[in-house]
Amino acid sequence: MLCVAALVLLMDGSTSLSDAQWAMAVEAHARAFESPRLAQLVNREGPVAASAVAFAGFPTELLGWRLMKTEADLHAFADALRGHVIRGFNTGDGTGTGNAILHGLRLLEEVPDCERQVIDVATDGESNTGVTPEAARDRAVQAGVQVNAVVLRTGANDDPADWARERVTTTSGFVLEATTWEAWERAIQRKIVMELAALQPVDAF
């Protein structure tokens, strides 16, 4: 599979999210792939690839690798994601961010010919089960994989952005933080465009 970027979407599906909030997160990811900017990227630079995984205590694959060469391909991926707005999976108890990152690394082994390999973590809380995020992140660094995160700050968590910077993202990665669900939805869309277009937060929009 030849592509300019391969992206694993790791989507927090733990019980800290209500069914409505999970559906909102899925829709935000789907809309990102309908961005005109992504269509321009594919037309200009070449194909991109993406897969999607839900995680709580352990990861569950939602969508296998899709190679997207056209705007129609991007929209087809978005529609496939929307097929999971109803949470019809069991990912166990807790939030195992490290387990999810390791699963993402295994998926990326299937697309070695992509120029850039990126893992995208979207979560509203810290990891509390399984492999530590630091250990998984270190494996990503060794593999040359960029890990980014978009986090939601709520009254129940202290400073998820600092936690993600210290324990989840690689030195080449970045963190976006939101304080409301509506802002989190926008941040998810923004981050995916940034990741596939190899942009940093300062020059994304």
The model's pLDDT over 38-66, given as tens digits with 9 standing for 90+, comes to 999 899 999 999 999 999 888 999 999 99
Residue 205: the pLDDT is 35
Higher pLDDT, 199 or 122: 122
Cβ atoms of 153 and 181 closer than 8 Å:
no
Find the CATH number of the domain harbouring 197. 3.40.50.410
Average pLDDT over residues 176-193: 86
Domain that holds residue 61: 3-203
Q: How far is CA 182 from the centre of its chain?
A: 17
Average pLDDT over residues 31-41: 91
Cα–Cα distances in Å, from 15 out to 94, 123, 164? 8, 12, 20
Average pLDDT over residues 149-164: 78
- Using DSSP, how many helices (H) and how many strands (E) does the chain show? 7, 6
Taking the C-alpha atoms of residue 18 and residue 169, their distance in angstroms, rounded to an integer, is 26
Average pLDDT over residues 6-19: 90
Cα–Cα distances in Å, from 18 out to 12, 25, 122, 133? 11, 11, 15, 24
Cβ atoms of 13 and 176 closer than 8 Å:
no
Number of domains in the chain: 1
User: Strand (E) positions, the chain?
Assistant: 3-12, 48-55, 59-68, 114-123, 146-152, 175-178
Taking the C-alpha atoms of residue 43 and residue 37, their distance in angstroms, rounded to an integer, is 10
Phi/psi of residue 55, nearest 5 degrees: -145, 150
With cut-offs at 50, 70 and 90, classify the pLDDT of residue 130: confident
Residue 202: the pLDDT is 43
Cα–Cα distances in Å, from 27 out to 45, 64, 132? 26, 18, 29
Higher pLDDT, 203 or 158: 158
With cut-offs at 50, 70 and 90, classify the pLDDT of residue 171: very high
